[in-house]
Amino acid sequence: MTSAVRVCSVGDVPAGEARRFAVDGRLVAVVNLGDEGFRAVDAICSHEHYYLDEGEVV
């Protein structure tokens, strides 16, 4: 079961950008999609080993 965890404040991630946070020993990327809301995903790309928050949000 997945539970909600507070990672940051809304103002910490500007629209169209992503930020990396440590949560319970894991790195997550929080992405602000503007009108589409926020998403949180693993911060590291599983096949390129690249931090997703360093890329472009499209």
8-57 pLDDT, tens digit per residue, is 999 999 999 999 999 999 999 999 999 999 999 999 998 988 999 998 88
The pLDDT value recorded for residue 1 is: 54
The pLDDT value recorded for residue 4 is: 86
pTM: 0.86
Label each residue of the chain as H, E or C: CCCCCCCCCHHHCCCCCEEEEEECCEEEEEEECHHHCEEEEECECCCCCCEHHHCCCC
- Tell me the CATH architecture of domain 13-54: 3-layer Sandwich (2.102)
The pLDDT value recorded for residue 36 is: 96
The pLDDT value recorded for residue 3 is: 80
For residue 45, give both structure tokens: 């790309």
For residue 36, give both structure tokens: 């589409």
